[in-house]
């Protein structure tokens, strides 16, 4: 089982990080929720790589994964959606995801809200 975690920062457009499980990649001390909220040691990544616009988490071999971002005008409220694996793998291939794509994931009814 390989857990894939990719953070989209202003100075690192496809930053990879290792995690032992999907749950740890999302809720753990170094997970997506703490990164977006700038909590703990993972929150210091903002200083190194710039603000975070989105975090993607998926497990290899699964049909879908997750995207997380802060809700507009919030520093603590996170929204999340389920993303089909083919979309995640396309971004993985280019090591990037545009802000247009991120915005579409969170605004289109094509993508199911998560959490």
pLDDT reading at 114 higher than 90 = no
Write out pLDDT tens, residues 74-84: 999 999 999 99
**Segment 11-50, tens digit of pLDDT:** 999 999 999 999 999 999 999 999 999 999 998 999 999 9
pLDDT tens readout for residues 82-102 = 999 999 999 999 999 999 999
Question: 115 pLDDT band (50/70/90 cuts)?
Answer: confident
Cα 13 to its chain centre, rounded Å, is 11
Measured distance CA(55)–CA(104) in Å, rounded: 15
pTM of the model: 0.96
Q: What is the DSSP string of the chain?
A: --EEEEEEESS-TTEE---SSHHHHHHSTTSHHHHHHT-HHHHTHHHHH--EEEEEEEETT-SEEEEEEEPTT-SS-EEEEEEEHHHHHHHHHHT---HHHHHHHHH-TTS-B--
Smallest Cα–Cα separation from 64: which of 90, 88, 80, 100?
Answer: 88
Which among 15, 18, 6, 11 has a CA at the least distance from the CA of 49? 11
Q: What is the mean pLDDT of residues 93-113?
A: 96
pLDDT at site 92: 98
């Amino acid at each position: 089982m390989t857990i894939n975690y990719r953070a989209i920062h202003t100075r690192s457009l496809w930053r990879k990080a290792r995690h032992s499980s999907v749950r740890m990649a999302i809720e753990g001390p170094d997970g997506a929720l703490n990164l977006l909220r700038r909590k703990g040691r993972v929150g210091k990544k903002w200083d190194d790589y710039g603000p975070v616009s989105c975090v993607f988490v998926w497990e290899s071999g699964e049909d879908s994964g997750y995207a997380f971002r802060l809700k507009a005008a919030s520093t603590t409220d996170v929204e999340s959606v389920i993303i089909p694996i083919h979309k995640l793998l396309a971004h993985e291939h280019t090591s990037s995801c545009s802000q247009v794509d991120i915005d579409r994931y969170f605004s289109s009814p094509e993508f199911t809200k998560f959490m």
